Structure 1
Amino acid sequence: MNVSSIPEGTVCFEQQLHWSRGIFFNESPFSSNTSLLLAQLSFCAIVTASLHRLLTPLGQSVFVSQILAGVILGPSVLGINSVFRDKIFPVSSFYIVDTFAYFGVMLFLFIIGVKTDLSVIQKSGKKVVAIGICTFSMPLLLNSLLGNLMTHSIPMEPRLHRSIIWIASFQAISSSHVIVCLLADLNLIKSHLGRLAISSSTISGICSSFWALIVFTGKQSVHAKQHTFLAMIFFIVVMVFFALCIFRPITLRMIRHTANTKSVKESHICIIFIFVMASAIYGEYFGQHFIFGPVILGMVIPDGPPLGSALVTKLEFFVSSIILPIFFVVSAARIDFSLISMRNFVIIEILAFFATLWKLAGVMLPALYWKLPVSDALYLGLILSNQGIMDVLILERAKSIELIDTESFTVMVLSIFLFTGILAPIVKFSYRPTKRYVVAAGEWMTLQNANPNSEIRILACLHYQEHTPCIINLFEASYPNPLAPISFYVVHLVEIAGRTAPLLMAHHPGMRDPSVPSESDHIINALRFFEHENRGHASVYPFTAISPYASMHEDVCTLAAERSVSMVITLFHIHPLIHVSEEESNAIRVVNQNIIQECPCSVGVLIDRGTMNCSAASLLHHDVYRVGVIFLGGPDDREALAYARRMAKRPTIRLTLVRFVDESGGGANMSTSYSGGVDADLDVVNEYKDSQMTNKQCFYQEEAVQDSVGVVGVIRSMESCFDLILVGRRHEDDSPLLAGFQDWNEFPELGFVGDMIVSLEYKASVLVVQQALPNEDYFDNPQNLRQDSFVGMEMPLNDNRVWPAPAPRGHQSGSLAM
């Protein structure tokens, strides 16, 4: 071949078709393309994960870690070393790596499309639409005008002069996926500002994508010097038509034939992958980027379970953690800092800085017009000003069709890295989302303060359909009746999968949403049946909340405040009949802890001992169901007693109040002086005693003990006496009756006594109650937790300990099974 016929920039290397036989044959494992690719994937994944682990506490998003890993492994840092470059990233491997990286990007963007919820556009109000459009249009117009002004006022190189307008405009685009990932990294995805940012970024992202598509199509048409613009637009419309009218009905048919996420057929997944690859070929053949088709197909697939969740579960972790990092190394290989001149760097950075200012203005002006607080409008602008991988991909496409040059591409990617690295920590460390579910002082959402003969509202949280029987049994025990009806709100908490935006959906009779897990249908059907059996005095309002575990409690707390419920019931994370991974169990435990800490009303943690999946017939007919209340004093014990007294109105429930008094203090109750203290405890106990005169199913037992050993002995003797035990969560830390309990408190969310009962492995179920206080700091102040004693001793109703006898007719403990 004539040397002069070889194009400039061509690199020749020896073609390698053999496998490495290993070091025992004096062959390097890196001599094989396969082993070299595996080594490159490993290096990229390890470096990216390590950087992300180090930078996350500093408020950095995963995009910053990915770009930084690409730069470190690229030719600008480690690539300078010839040994590392020739062994790990030789030039001969780049065509393989490049192909593999872009295949991963194609799958990644397909996942993005699957997780995109286009329904937010239909649900968007005028405020969201205005913010989204202004976020796109204002920086695009103003930055383009600024770029045009700079071309006439600042001397610059010809290549920069030709592309300055495009540089200015591309710095104004945005992506909804980037914003959602940033909100997830900052743990703001469930906040009010996070929801507004997701909706607004979806609109601005669609506008940006549409604009970029028109620009790239027009540029290719002009570059070809043929009138192909209308033809290219026609084939784009054909692709969209196929996605909406053919591909989407196919996926909907797949969903109708799928019971749940785990039962999605492999053939369905295979068919979808074939369509994805075919759409990529279609886009390349008709002059579009190969990612265009997969993104469109992904967006028309219904997000969430069953199909969307299955696709995301099968692809997301492997693609984003293993394949995607190498894309940033490939992109970094195109970055050459030696090509950057200071003058061009300053010009492009000025445009980047003003593009950020225009975005802030584009967000804040409509936000302030719709009465959003100034601070929230500012933080919303900072969030929507971030850019990420989608913007890098658009810049790469612009460079490939010569809208921008290599130097401008390098500086613009560096700008995205710098501005994202600055804006994200500002939001993380300075923004504190407003807890709109905080209740004003004096507005106690508790059972004790509710009118005993008026309607109350109880909210129950469950994670699995196996929790449904125990929740319904507890509802039965709460005794909704015509004189004291109860409204039950039930929230099925589901970890988010297969979608980007969280969801809180109310289920109305006769309505079915395919995006909601089918497991929710079984729960709803059982609740509807309970409501039918108790029609007229029990109302059930089911919800499904789909969100990350880290912010799952916010849905519960917000709903509790909006519906003015008196108590939230949540299930203990350990259940003998439900087997989940330790990671999932710990995540549910954190959700419970967050609910206990932040809920504006009383909270009850229900520990099912495995017998609560029995029928509720014992309450509905004539069996005796035995409920016990362990009373050591304090607001939580008073709240537990208030709930138990409502249960005791059911004729088939036998209630026993077991009150502990400190024998060393002259028989005084061990209650403290906080939140009413001794007087409040005496009032509720005396009121309970008075109620015994009219309710023969109520019993009272007083236990005088000297220390914690006596408390344990009494509670241990109660093992076979009750089907359900209610106890307060918080008690005085330094009480002699609880001495040593704190040293063995395995589950602090259950309190000292609740944790001790669980450790005894009772067959009876336990409900640990925490009463809502107007000021939690008062309770947490050790000065407010001093021990008091009674002025006089209250005589017990029974001199000897006589526990209620087991129920007649062969009643077994836990027939209702709380």
Structure 2
Amino acid sequence: MDLGIVKRAGRKPVVIGFLTFLFPVTLNLIVAGILSGKREMDPVLLKSIWHVAIFQAVTSFHVIVCLLADLKLVNSELGQLAISSSMISGMCSWGLVIVILFITELKYEPFWILLCPLSLIVLIFYVLRPLMVKMIAKTPEGKQVKEGYMLCIFIMVLGTAFLSEVLGHHVVFGATALGIAVPHGPPLGTALENKIESFVSSILLPSYFVLSVSRVDLLSIHSETVFVISMFGLTSFIGKVLGGMLPALFFKVPPVEAFSLGLLVDRQIYSMMVINMLFVSGTFTPVIKFLYDPSRHYKSSNKRTIHHISLNMEFRILAGIYHQDSTPCMIRLLEISNPTAKTPMCCYIVHLVQLVGSSSPLFMYHEPGATAKLPTKDCGRIINAFRLYEQESNGNVIVNLFTSISPFASIHEEVCRLAVEKRTSLVIIPFHMQWRLHGIEDITEARAVNRHILAKAPCSVGILVDRGTLSASKHHFVYKIGIIFVHGRDDREALAYGLRMAKHAKVSLTVIHLIDPAEGAVLSLDMDLDDDIITEFKAASAGKKRHSYITEFVKDSVELITLIRSVQNSYDLILVGRHHRSFSPIFMGLTEWNEFPELGFLGDVLASSDSQCQVSVLVVQQQVYRAGDRMNSAKNLLEDSAETVEIIFESTQGWKDIDISRHRMQPR
């Protein structure tokens, strides 16, 4: 667990977390008082009614996190709020349970009951935790934790659990305290998760559930017990929903999201009634999934593309990076995007790190000049490289740096939400296969992330296949860029990006227009739009010898591949669109052998394992620009102009982005 969440939590999660603890406990205690005073019941139930009331009302942090992970909501705004709130609520619940257990046992051995757990906590946090910190310090960067260290950790777990039992407390007390003390994240938290996750998830946890359910005897349950326990279940549910909804509504969270938050905070394993657990888990999980879909925010936002913004306006790009080796190529791509004083560029760089060895995700903004602790050494190198690029850009580029440490199953939500809030026109993400000096590195999990971003991004998306040719250009004085243009909106988007690059003094742009003779007489709106942007390129490149336009006629896929292979190694970077008309004769056969569908037909030909292409490739997908979005174009123009004014020059710091849009980590 990352206990730093409690420190970083703002007012909203603290209020919600405390009220989701206070409301159900208060309601259950009131109900317990009413039932015990006015109803005859079984003596055993009467004796334990106060404990049942409290235990039915507590919230478990790790259960909330697991539920959010299953629903793929960890990276959503609702998920972040639920995690922070449940941490606060869970700490309050644990504190109350411990106090009750101490009070219950004080009548037997008052002194020892207080001294023993305090001594165990001191041992764990002031002896065992420093030992674990030393283990981390002695583990070299990028290396695995030694097996001897892992053995020591396992001995600590068994030892603290045994001591807890000997001292008169539950075996879980010592082990849980040690778990909280373990430093989260790599290398130790990651190593522990890799070692024991499968064993715990596949063997221990199912065995625990089987043993727990095997003790349930439905025939022994009396109607009176069912009524009492169900009352506590109902009141705790109402208390948690109200405790989550009311403060959320006060903080102006939308009603549907506030209700979903209430249901999320309510999801718990009812220790007294397995039937309640099944009902709550089986009913409210799909309800939450139905009510809250974070991608709805992206669908309802105004679509933004390169083609539909003026060449004279500020250009906003969001770039994701999985590994520091992608930094040089990404910086070079930003450089040839032609940021100038009249057309400045605002870049949002997100280092995407897979969450392992920790329960809670982390999203942090790296403020210029700040000395905050960085999550990884790679992160520090990426930050330094982009800060240096920003300094060398003479104020034409503003760079905002972020790190997102999240499960790769939902990290795309972070990217899409940031793109919405910052109103970017393009998201660039590296291809999951990355060419290195020692060979090809395949970041398998990143492929699913890229596909999700392609499907849900609120703006255009580019997938960058980095083979090192752009960052280490063979042409010392000019970057040779090639665009293979067929037809369709994605090709137009690629050419629109190329038009920006063509304005750079050190860029030589060649457009190769592939024409199918069979479609020469076809008239359509798509063809008219293709002709318009090609005409725009011809006009912009007139009289400039470094730019050229080539027309090639191809009638089938064989001629297409032959042409591509003849030109593929003539450039430093090739731009292609992702989608074309798949029924066109020139693509016949390519659909059946598509190795990487996320790259489209041409991108797949250039990046497939049997390709002889040795240059970098950028595959561009234009966000669908609906007619309804065009009605808001004037509004978008005004918003962009207003935000450009927000970029002010400070004599001591240079250009600084004081964007006061909604992002939670962005400083005002």
CA distance in 2, matches of 1:342, 1:419: 20
2:213 and 2:274 in contact (8 A); partners too: no
Paired position in structure 1 for 2:294: 433
Shift of 1:735: 3.1
TM-score using structure 1 length:
0.71
CA distance in 1, matches of 2:158, 2:373: 26
CA distance in 1, matches of 2:595, 2:157: 50
Paired position in structure 2 for 1:719: 568
Shift of 1:117: 1.9
Q: Is 2:336 the partner of 1:477?
A: yes
Paired position in structure 2 for 1:548: 407
Paired position in structure 2 for 1:65: none
Paired position in structure 1 for 2:453: 595
Deviations 1:662-701 (A, max 9, x none): 3345x56x7852xxx3333222212221222342210111
- SS of equivalent to 1:492: strand
Q: Is 2:627 the partner of 1:768?
A: no
- SS of equivalent to 1:524: helix
Deviates more, 1:711-720 or 1:494-503: 711-720
Provide the identity percentage. Answer: 40
**1:787-798 to 2 correspondences below 5 Å:** none
Paired position in structure 2 for 1:457: 316
Which of 210, 223, 227 pairs up with 1:346? Answer: 227
Shift of 1:141: 1.7
CA 1:232–1:510: 2 relative to 1, 3 Å: farther
1:672 and 1:732 in contact (8 A); partners too: no
Deviations 1:415-457 (A, max 9, x none): 223322322233234443364344644xx53223333344322
Deviates more, 1:647-656 or 1:598-607: 647-656
Larger Rg: 1
Give the aligned residue type for 1:189.
V
Paired position in structure 2 for 1:378: 259
1:383 and 1:427 in contact (8 A); partners too: yes
Shift of 1:267: 4.2
CA distance in 2, matches of 1:428, 1:689: 50
**1:313-332 to 2 correspondences below 5 Å:** 313-332=194-213
Paired position in structure 2 for 1:413: 274
Paired position in structure 1 for 2:61: 176
Q: Runs (4+) of structure 1 moved beyond 6 Å?
A: 578-582
CA 1:420–1:661: 2 relative to 1, 3 Å: closer
- SS of equivalent to 2:185: coil
Paired position in structure 1 for 2:42: 157
Which of 583, 600, 613 pairs up with 1:734? Answer: 583
Deviations 1:358-398 (A, max 9, x none): 2222222222222222222222122211113xx64xxxxxx
Give the aligned residue type for 2:327.
T
Shift of 1:651: 3.5
CA 1:474–1:289: 2 relative to 1, 3 Å: same
2:434 and 2:441 in contact (8 A); partners too: no
2:435 and 2:468 in contact (8 A); partners too: no
Paired position in structure 2 for 1:633: 487
Which of 523, 527, 539 pairs up with 2:382? Answer: 523
- SS of equivalent to 2:228: helix
1:261 and 1:307 in contact (8 A); partners too: no
CA 1:514–1:277: 2 relative to 1, 3 Å: farther
Deviations 1:621-661 (A, max 9, x none): 42x43211111222221221122232233343321111123
CA distance in 2, matches of 1:501, 1:557: 19
2:76 and 2:414 in contact (8 A); partners too: no
CA 1:538–1:355: 2 relative to 1, 3 Å: closer
CA distance in 1, matches of 2:217, 2:377: 52
CA 1:354–1:731: 2 relative to 1, 3 Å: same
Q: Matched residue pairs, number? A: 627
Paired position in structure 2 for 1:678: 527
Shift of 1:538: 3.3
CA distance in 1, matches of 2:569, 2:237: 68
Q: Is 2:432 the partner of 1:573?
A: yes
Paired position in structure 1 for 2:102: 217
CA 1:533–1:250: 2 relative to 1, 3 Å: farther
Shift of 1:553: 1.0
CA 1:378–1:672: 2 relative to 1, 3 Å: same
CA distance in 2, matches of 1:650, 1:455: 16
1:302 and 1:515 in contact (8 A); partners too: no
2:263 and 2:288 in contact (8 A); partners too: yes
Deviations 1:223-261 (A, max 9, x none): x2x443xx4334434444444444444444444444435
Deviations 1:553-584 (A, max 9, x none): 111111222222221111222234387897x5
Paired position in structure 2 for 1:334: 215
Give the aligned residue type for 2:11.
K
2:501 and 2:507 in contact (8 A); partners too: yes
CA 1:439–1:325: 2 relative to 1, 3 Å: closer
CA distance in 2, matches of 1:241, 1:323: 29
- SS of equivalent to 1:262: coil
CA distance in 1, matches of 2:132, 2:523: 62
Which of 97, 114, 135 pairs up with 2:20? Answer: 135
Shift of 1:156: 1.8
- SS of equivalent to 2:567: coil
1:480 and 1:537 in contact (8 A); partners too: yes
- SS of equivalent to 1:156: coil
CA 1:284–1:512: 2 relative to 1, 3 Å: farther
Deviations 1:453-510 (A, max 9, x none): 4432222222222323322332343344445443332222111111112122222345
Shift of 1:138: 1.5
1:136 and 1:174 in contact (8 A); partners too: yes
1:261 and 1:309 in contact (8 A); partners too: no
Q: Is 2:56 the partner of 1:198?
A: no
**1:273-284 to 2 correspondences below 5 Å:** 273-284=154-165
Shift of 1:325: 2.3
Shift of 1:210: 0.8
CA distance in 2, matches of 1:241, 1:137: 29
2:352 and 2:403 in contact (8 A); partners too: yes
Residue segments in structure 1 that go unaligned for 5+ positions in a row? 1-115, 393-408, 779-818
